[in-house]
Amino acid sequence: PVDRFWNEQEVAIRPVMSPMPLPTGFSGATVLGDGRVIPLVGLAQLIRFAAEQRDACATQFAGPAQSSVTKIIPASTPANPSDVFARQVVLVIDDSVHVRRYLTLTLERAGYEVVPAKDGREGVDKLLGGLRVAAVLCDVEMPRLDGYGVLDEIKGRPEFAKLPITMLTSRNSDKHRKLALKLGASAYFSKPYNDQALLKTLEELIQISTR
């Protein structure tokens, strides 16, 4: 039975473009008017998954002890424990907590470690404070210090000359794009963007910067 119902709302369902599959039971996502990214549950898939888990659990307890021990070990456990610490760090600078969470989820599923910053000033302070990152994803419109200010402060320093900074913004005019590239941005994505294209670009920029 349904415990509570708030309202009915029309939404546009967007597929999540990512090299990693969605968690079982989720069919996609939608973006609400206030910018929140909401995952959508695929009810039929969720029911089927629950039934499979129930059957698997029954089989596990019915089988030999050795079989149940084997199932406890995750298939994704790396063969070499040092692989866990090989992830590259990406600094995400955006004043929207929902965007930061979404980017963090996307990047972590692709194997990156994420350090968030709520505005340009905090992001610059982290970098100048000694944070070592492989790349930066940065919004343009932010309080205290916007994305152009981040580029101006960071790319003017020799130690950050090769650091790739990708801009993610709702501003899609050539004027804003050209200004960002002139200030040293490595790439410029207008929202909404394709997750897979962003991850591919990020990987290429990191490879170039480490040569």
Q: Tell me the per-residue pLDDT of 83-115, one tens digit each, with 9 for 90 and over.
A: 333 469 999 999 999 999 999 999 999 999 999
Mean pLDDT to the nearest integer, 36-49? 68
Q: Would the pLDDT of 80 be above 50?
A: no
For 154-211, write each residue's pLDDT tens digit.
Answer: 999 999 999 999 999 888 889 999 999 999 999 999 988 899 999 999 999 999 988 8
SS3 category, 113 = strand
> Is this model's pTM higher than 0.75 or not?
no
- Residues 96 and 126 both lie in one domain: yes
In a domain, 30, yes or no: no
CATH of the domain at 107: 3.40.50.2300
Residue 200 lies in a domain: yes
Same domain, 63 and 122: no
Q: What is the average pLDDT score of the chain?
A: 78
Overall domain count for the chain: 2
Contacts of 106 (CB under 8 A, 6+ apart): 18, 195, 198, 199
Does residue 66 sit in the same domain as residue 130? no
Domain that holds residue 52: 43-72
In sequence order, which residues have a C-beta less than 8 Å from that of residue 164 and are 6 or more positions away?
A: 134, 135, 136, 186, 187, 202, 205, 206, 208, 209
- 67 and 88 co-located in one domain: no
Query: Coil, strand or helix: which one is 50?
Result: helix
Does 146 lie in the same domain as 59?
no
Q: Are residues 195 and 103 in the same domain?
A: yes
